[in-house]
Structure 1
Amino acid sequence: MSQVATSRGRVGFIAGFLVLPLALYLTFVIWPYIQTFGYSFTNWSGQSPTFGFIGLDNYTALMKDEVFLGALWHNLLLLVFVPTLTILLALFFAFMVNAGGRSGAGGVRGVRGSAFYKIVYFFPQVLSLAILAVLFGAVYRSDEGGLLNGFLIGLGLVDPAHPVEWLNEPNLVLWCLLLVVVWHGVGFYLVLFSAAMQSVPKDIYEAALLDGAGRAQTFVKVTLPLLWDSVQTSAVYLGIAAMDMFVLVSTMTSGSFGGGPDHHSEVMATVLMRNFLYFGKSGYACAMGVVMLVLTMILSVVTLRATRRERIEF
């Protein structure tokens, strides 16, 4: 009887701590998702409390919406390039600051000044995306005063009378935004990978060097397999970030909620917000939100399964 009473007391104690957080989570996280899913089947305008059920009409319209389909394509491009470039650069820099220096009496170590480099690389993470938009707005200015144009004009690669309009050129704008995201993210994942590398015994690197492995072989054969769990998690988070991009696109590009020029930098989030707040098509925007949710969940599952491999112990 005493064991039963103790078990019930333990369950009650745990339940007492879980009830309030679970209630808050259901109220402020799960319930809005359910509401959004329900509104996606209506013609709700967002202003009126009344609306009518229209079934799958919003989803059918999405498949014919050229702006939304173009935005989906842009998100898919970012989904490929943002995680790939960010992870590769972060892995390279993390390897250099932890094990890329010359081995000596102290064993394997990073390049000289590695502690300073970590601070420099991490610095973009302390800046908000709004501040980044202002900074890179100055970098991409379409006149001689822009940092990038001024540099290219100084080298004689660009005519001062016809500077490059980075954020107004249809073929360049999306790649300019991509560079901002990568520049912002590399420092965080460098620190993440550095923490993982520091848990790897230095003996492993020293054994690889004694066997005649070069830096490239050590990185591919030793570092990458031992950091695979961190790389897998990073790919999921960066993929989710690539499916968003609302802040940068809406603040750095032309048009209502961004997306210019002529929808060449459009992403699904900007199309959603424009329909919800500007066009008053809130039910239609909710359908876009459901599509984004489903795609993000599919992305996460596929990434985790595609990158799954046997865990390496050390």
Structure 2
Amino acid sequence: MERLRKYGFVIGFLAVPVALYTVFVISPYVQAFQLSLTSWNGVSSVVRYVGLDNFGRLFDDDTFWQALRNHGILLLVLPLLTIVIALFLSFLLNLGGGTRGAGMRGVWGSNFYRVVFFFPQVLAVAVVGVLFQAIYRPDEDGVINGTLARFGLGEPIGWLTEPGLALWSIIAVMVWQAVGFYVVLFSAGMAAIPKDYFEAASIDGAGRVRLFFSITLPLLRDTLQVGWIYLGIAAFDGFALIQVLAGDRGEPDGSTTILPITIYKTAFDYHKVGYASAMGVVLFFLTVTFAVLTLRTTRRERVEL
């Protein structure tokens, strides 16, 4: 009877959240899977099932493959750059000052720098996009080009209009915005490492580089795993920022085309909701596959501190 009462309380407590999650998260996924098997235009009351034809069409869609190539670049560069920069800054802020008394300390002004690094996180994505539109303007009124012109360093550069630069310019913005969050995440992980490890290694003559690679990095592996997955998921998104900076045409020459924007255009501009849903299903499975593979390939025995 006691067990029944306990489980009844748990079920009653979870019933509403689970119901809301089912309605607003699970249900749209199921509907997307269903729509991906149709040729529905989003307006007509007639829904014609076409089976797997939409998925077959993806193999001949150049825009789809261009979007996948851009996601591949994002997936390789965004997590790597963000994690490397965030790790370096976190180490400086928490352990870069060396030993002081009985413990380790960060560089001078660490608390102030934490606020500065985290500041981009409090800005809305649309605000960040508008801000960098001004920074990347392709004339001398742009912040970067204006600075280059002031020092006589060449003609204005089309940061968002040159095919070879557009995606990399956007990646730089994504890294800038994300680094602050991961500085906080990695700082929390470093704070959980017993300071005795660093003190003992320092007594044995280990320098800061050795402390980082021999103690900090191995003991942050689980935190790095989480950060890598989050950033990988972000690499499969990027809709709002790219929409603001480069528009929904993937300009220039498709160099900034990504699947979320392609899905949006296909559904609402071309009224091919069924085909757009098929792209959404592919994006869903790509994201899940990435997360699962990352968890499996980075799995290890838990380190007891």
TM-score range, shorter chain: over 0.9
Structure 1 match to 2:262: 271
Structure 2 match to 1:289: 280
Cα distance between partner residues in 2 of 1:245 and 1:293: 14
CA contact (8 A) 1:225 1:312 kept: no
Pair 1:138-2:129 in alignment: no
Pair 1:94-2:98 in alignment: no
Sort the Cα spacing of 1:108 and 1:8 in 2 relative to 1 into closer, same or farther, 3 A.
closer
Sort the Cα spacing of 1:7 and 1:77 in 2 relative to 1 into closer, same or farther, 3 A.
same
1:92-148 CA deviation, whole Å, 9 max, x = no partner? Answer: 100000001132335321001111110110010000110000111011000111111
Cα distance between partner residues in 2 of 1:248 and 1:196: 29
Identity of aligned residues (%): 48
Structure 1 stretch displaced more, 30-39 or 209-218 = 209-218
Q: Counterpart of 2:181 in 1: which secondary structure?
A: helix
Partner amino acid, structure 2, of 1:17: F
CA contact (8 A) 2:93 2:110 kept: yes
RMSD across aligned positions (CA): 1.2
1:253-268 → structure 2 map (5 Å cutoff): 253-254=246-247, 257-268=248-259
Q: Counterpart of 1:298 in 2: which secondary structure?
A: helix
Structure 1 match to 2:205: 212
TM-score normalised by structure 2 residue count: 0.97
Structure 2 match to 1:32: 28
Pair 1:312-2:285 in alignment: no
Structure 2 match to 1:198: 191
Sort the Cα spacing of 1:280 and 1:108 in 2 relative to 1 into closer, same or farther, 3 A.
same
CA contact (8 A) 1:249 1:258 kept: no
- Give the C-alpha shift of residue 218 in structure 1: 1.1
Structure 1 match to 2:152: 156
Q: Counterpart of 1:287 in 2: which secondary structure?
A: helix
- Give the C-alpha shift of residue 202 in structure 1: 1.7
CA contact (8 A) 2:98 2:208 kept: no
Partner amino acid, structure 2, of 1:87: I
- Give the C-alpha shift of residue 56 in structure 1: 1.0
Cα distance between partner residues in 2 of 1:127 and 1:22: 31
Cα distance between partner residues in 2 of 1:238 and 1:133: 19
Which among 210, 221, 230 is matched to residue 223 of structure 2? 230
Cα distance between partner residues in 2 of 1:230 and 1:7: 36
CA contact (8 A) 1:37 1:287 kept: yes
- Give the C-alpha shift of residue 199 in structure 1: 1.7
Partner amino acid, structure 1, of 2:82: T
Structure 1 stretch displaced more, 76-85 or 22-31 = 22-31
- Give the C-alpha shift of residue 78 in structure 1: 0.2
Partner amino acid, structure 2, of 1:249: I
1:211-256 CA deviation, whole Å, 9 max, x = no partner? Answer: 22221111111101111111100100110000011111111114xx
CA contact (8 A) 2:121 2:178 kept: yes
Give the total of aligned pairs.
305
Cα distance between partner residues in 1 of 2:43 and 2:150: 53
Partner amino acid, structure 1, of 2:281: V
TM-score normalised by structure 1 residue count: 0.94
Cα distance between partner residues in 2 of 1:113 and 1:28: 44
Cα distance between partner residues in 2 of 1:234 and 1:105: 32
Q: Counterpart of 1:97 in 2: which secondary structure?
A: helix
Cα distance between partner residues in 1 of 2:159 and 2:259: 22
Cα distance between partner residues in 2 of 1:121 and 1:196: 17
1:148-189 CA deviation, whole Å, 9 max, x = no partner? Answer: 111222332223xxx111100000000000000000000001
Cα distance between partner residues in 1 of 2:235 and 2:11: 38
